[in-house]
């Protein structure tokens, strides 16, 4: 018997099986897990992608923000980006939630930082004394403790009413500053200021997590993912004080969205 045709036939069959198995395990099939998913992104600048390249429009949305990156990687049936830089909880309720479809399957959101005075607090700490910084942080902490929970509850309830069957992922905020060194470079914040702001950020995240869980939503904590990558650190995923454009200041850079926020949403979305 001539073994050559038999060997060639075996090779052909093996190659065909390999092709079939490779196709079955291709990324396209993995992405098909979300082929029937209608995804809506809500929230503030940390969701719109401020700090990353390619921002556009009044809401400063970027294709490098985590919602657009997740969409590109997972190819859901539809993607509606309602995020807007500067948004507070009442903006989400009045300007974002009403434009969601009731059939939405997946929602992501960051919200609460602007309600707590994120921008003015960081600016005050940048230009003021250590004591001034501590005072504005304390004011923010009072708001987070006394008023923010009700604002979050109202916002989460509005999302649930509008999209009763959606899987809602509430993402937190990173701790902004590295405190491993006393020095933060020329013009950088003192260690006292950085610690005060970080403490405020931790309280904000803990409050958001508690209210998200009370609403039956999934909380995606990004603090561990950003650990070691804060402002003043050797490999920051967060922009420091930025002059052009100033809105990028103290927001994630592209690495922060790609390696911090995107995996957090991916893990939480399932």
Residue 98 neighbours by CB under 8 Å, 6+ apart: 162
Q: Are residues 245 and 215 in the same domain?
A: yes
List 124, 190, 251, 255, catalytic entry: 251
The mean pLDDT value for 179-184 works out to 90
Range(s) of the domain holding residue 152: 36-269
Q: Are residues 96 and 23 in the same domain?
A: no
Residue that wins the pLDDT comparison between 3 and 169: 169
Catalytic residue at 108?
Answer: no
Q: Are residues 85 and 141 in the same domain?
A: yes
Q: What is the pLDDT of residues 6-29, one digit of tens each?
A: 433 333 333 333 333 344 444 444
Q: What is the pLDDT of residues 183-226, one digit of tens each?
A: 887 778 999 999 999 999 999 999 999 999 999 999 999 999 99
Q: 3-class SS at 170? A: strand
Catalytic residue at 165?
Answer: no
What are the E-state strand segments in 191-261? 218-220
Q: What is the pLDDT of residues 119-149, one digit of tens each?
A: 999 999 999 999 999 999 999 999 999 999 9
State the total domains in the chain.
Answer: 2
Q: Are residues 125 and 190 in the same domain?
A: yes
Q: Are residues 21 and 45 in the same domain?
A: no
Please, what is the average pLDDT of the chain?
Answer: 90
Give me the residues paired with residue 110 across strands: 43
CATH code of residue 107: 3.40.50.1110
Predicted pLDDT of residue 32: 59
In angstroms, the CA 65 to CA 70 distance is: 9
Q: Are residues 100 and 1 in the same domain?
A: no
Whether residue 2 is predicted with pLDDT greater than 80 in this model: the reply is no
List 45, 62, 108, 249, catalytic entry: 45
Q: What is the pLDDT of residues 151-174, one digit of tens each?
A: 999 999 999 999 999 999 999 999
Q: Are residues 12 and 81 in the same domain?
A: no
Q: Are residues 89 and 99 in the same domain?
A: yes
Q: Are residues 10 and 122 in the same domain?
A: no
């Amino acid at each position: 018997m001539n073994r050559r045709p038999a060997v060639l036939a075996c090779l052909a069959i093996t190659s065909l099986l390999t092709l079939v198995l490779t196709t079955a395990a291709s990324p396209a099939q993995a992405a098909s897990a979300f082929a029937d998913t209608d995804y809506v992104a809500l929230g503030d600048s940390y969701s719109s992608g401020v700090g990353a390249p390619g921002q556009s429009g009044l809401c400063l949305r970027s294709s490098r923000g985590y919602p657009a990156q997740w969409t590109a990687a997972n190819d859901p049936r539809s993607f509606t980006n309602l995020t807007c830089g500067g948004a507070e909880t009442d903006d989400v309720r009045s300007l974002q939630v009403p434009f969601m479809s009731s059939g939405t399957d997946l929602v992501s959101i960051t919200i609460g930082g602007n309600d707590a005075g994120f921008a003015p607090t960081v600016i005050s700490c940048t230009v003021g004394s250590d004591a001034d910084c501590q005072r504005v942080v304390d004011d923010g902490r009072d708001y987070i403790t006394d008023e923010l929970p009700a604002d979050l509850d109202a916002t989460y309830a509005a999302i649930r009413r509008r999209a009763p069957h959606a899987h809602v992922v509430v993402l937190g905020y990173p701790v902004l500053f590295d405190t491993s060194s006393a020095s933060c470079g020329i013009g950088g914040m003192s260690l006292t200021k950085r610690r005060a702001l970080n403490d405020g950020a931790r309280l904000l995240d803990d409050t958001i997590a508690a209210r998200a869980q009370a609403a039956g939503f999934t909380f995606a904590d990004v603090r561990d993912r950003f650990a070691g990558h804060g402002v003043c650190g050797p490999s920051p995923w967060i922009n420091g004080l930025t002059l052009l454009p100033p809105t990028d200041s103290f927001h994630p850079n592209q690495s922060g969205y790609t390696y911090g926020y995107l995996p957090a949403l991916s893990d939480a979305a399932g």
